[in-house]
């Protein structure tokens, strides 16, 4: 199931026995504009039982169907913007944090729509790829601050890696607040804005690269005669196990690859094919292409 297909729900931070732990983290009033794949992934972290948000999270989305689905979620009020031109303005009025999670091409129109409804002192948090702090600040009053972020979809299971960058008007407290917010869905790395697009090409897009590798190896398994179900079990299990071993062992990926690669054995032949085909360089080119696209998005 992709993040886009999930509905917002508490992350696996919830204890298995169903008992509610004491809220460990208090967050102020939040508006979330755009409940697509990323917006809902973040929402799932904010709805964890360990998080206490001041008042319901005000969510908006273009389609009425998605808004209606989310409106039934405890801790959320959701409105559709289709047919209700005031929905975003109502959502941001009085909110201390405003998360902007619409497509990059829609950001500027959205900012112009909400600018004079924002609470002075609000922190506007962007997750939009490419769109710069300067663009945000240009379209918003000087009484609000901007923080740019780049999360990734493992937020749905509380395992996001999120980059955050301060805007020119954001205080240390604003940045700390945004860090706490994203820590509800995983880990947070603070970088200067000049590095955020590069970070996006690695961790923002990274889950897609991993899934493409999984798809490719699965195809090879099916070509070798395994059923789809067997291929998925072999490949998904191998990726999950390898990633867990990487984290648990504290070893580098190179050390772990060498462990698998018996001298003159079978893996050595396979790895040689991948290296001769230029797999490492391909990732350099792929991330360069993503970076170029981020710059196009920044230009509008």
Ligand X SMILES: NC(=O)C1=CN([C@@H]2O[C@H](COP(=O)(O)OP(=O)(O)OC[C@H]3O[C@@H](n4cnc5c(N)ncnc54)[C@H](O)[C@@H]3O)[C@@H](O)[C@H]2O)C=CC1
Ligand Y SMILES: O=C(O)[C@@H]1CCC=N1
Binding residues for ligand X (CB under 6 A): 4, 33-39, 60-63, 81, 88, 101-104, 106, 110, 127-129, 150-153, 204
Give the nearer residue to ligand Y in terms of CB position, either 79 or 152. 152
Give the nearer residue to ligand Y in terms of CB position, either 40 or 169. 40
102 interface partner picked from ligand X, ligand Y, none, CB below 5 to 8 A per type = ligand X
Give the nearer residue to ligand X in terms of CB position, either 145 or 200. 200
Q: How far is the CB of 153 from ligand X (least distance, A)?
A: 5
Residue 257 is encoded by which pair of tokens? 């690859």
188 close to 164: Cβ distance less than 8 angstroms: yes
Give the nearer residue to ligand X in terms of CB position, either 64 or 246. 64
User: Per CB under 6 A, which region of 11-19, 42-50, 199-207, 214-222 contacts ligand Y?
Assistant: 199-207
Query: For ligand Y, how many residues bind (rule: CB under 6 A)?
Result: 4
Q: How far is the CB of 39 from ligand Y (least distance, A)?
A: 12
Q: Among residues 58, 155, 204, 235, which is the contact residue for ligand Y, using CB under 6 A?
A: 204
128 close to 109: Cβ distance less than 8 angstroms: no
Q: Of 101, 120, 97, nearest to 31 (Cα)?
A: 97
Helical H segments across 47-122, by residue range: 64-71, 87-92, 107-114
200 forms part of the interface with ligand Y (CB under 6 A): yes
Residue 10 is encoded by which pair of tokens? 């508490």
Helical H segments across the chain, by residue range: 37-46, 64-71, 87-92, 107-114, 133-139, 172-183, 196-199, 206-223, 228-249, 253-260, 266-276, 279-299
Q: Of 149, 211, 132, 133, nearest to 183 (Cα)?
A: 149
Q: How far is the CB of 271 from ligand X (least distance, A)?
A: 29
Dihedral sign, Cα of residue 237, residue 243, residue 248, residue 254: positive
283 close to 206: Cβ distance less than 8 angstroms: no
**218 CB contacts (<8 Å, ≥6 apart)?**
231, 232, 235
Cβ neighbours around 85 below 10 Å, total? 9
Q: How far is the CB of 129 from ligand Y (least distance, A)?
A: 4
User: Per CB under 6 A, which region of 11-19, 162-170, 197-205, 261-269 contacts ligand Y?
Assistant: 197-205
Q: Among residues 95, 98, 117, 129, which is the contact residue for ligand Y, using CB under 6 A?
A: 129
Q: How far is the CB of 190 from ligand X (least distance, A)?
A: 16
Give the nearer residue to ligand X in terms of CB position, either 32 or 231. 32
Write the CA distances from 24 to 50, 65, 96, 180, 287, integer angstroms.
Answer: 5, 33, 19, 11, 37
Q: How far is the CB of 63 from ligand X (least distance, A)?
A: 5
36 interface partner picked from ligand X, ligand Y, none, CB below 5 to 8 A per type = ligand X
User: Per CB under 6 A, which region of 85-93, 182-190, 200-208, 212-220 contacts ligand Y?
Assistant: 200-208
Binding footprint of ligand Y on the chain (CB under 6 A): 129, 200, 204-205
């Amino acid at each position: 199931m992709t993040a886009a297909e999930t509905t917002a729900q508490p992350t696996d931070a919830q204890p298995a026995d169903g008992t509610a732990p004491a809220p460990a983290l208090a967050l102020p009033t939040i508006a979330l504009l755009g409940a697509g794949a990323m917006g809902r992934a973040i929402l799932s972290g904010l709805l964890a039982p360990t998080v206490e948000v001041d008042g319901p999270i005000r969510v908006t989305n273009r389609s009425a169907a998605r808004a209606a689905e989310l409106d039934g979620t405890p801790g959320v009020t959701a409105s559709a913007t289709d047919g209700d031109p005031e929905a975003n303005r109502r959502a941001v009025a009085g909110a201390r944090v405003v998360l902007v999670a619409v497509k990059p091409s829609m950001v500027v129109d959205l900012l112009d729509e909400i600018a004079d409804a924002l609470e002075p002192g609000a922190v506007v948090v962007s997750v939009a790829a490419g769109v710069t702090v300067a663009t945000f600040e240009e379209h918003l009053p000087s009484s609000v601050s901007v923080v740019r972020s780049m999360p990734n979809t493992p937020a749905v299971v509380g395992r996001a890696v999120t980059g955050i960058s301060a805007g020119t008007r954001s205080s240390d407290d604003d940045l700390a607040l945004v860090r706490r917010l994203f820590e509800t869905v995983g880990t947070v790395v603070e970088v200067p804005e000049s590095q955020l697009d590069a970070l996006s090409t690695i961790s923002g897009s990274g889950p897609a690269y991993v899934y493409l590798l999984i798809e490719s190896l699965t195809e090879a398994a099916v070509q070798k005669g395994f059923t789809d179900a067997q291929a998925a079990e072999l490949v998904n299990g191998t990726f999950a196990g390898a990633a867990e071993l990487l984290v648990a062992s504290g070893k580098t990926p190179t050390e772990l690859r060498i462990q698998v690669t018996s001298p003159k054995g079978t893996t050595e032949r396979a790895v040689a094919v991948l290296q001769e085909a230029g797999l490492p360089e391909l990732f350099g080119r792929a991330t360069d292409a993503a970076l170029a696209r981020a710059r196009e998005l920044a230009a509008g």
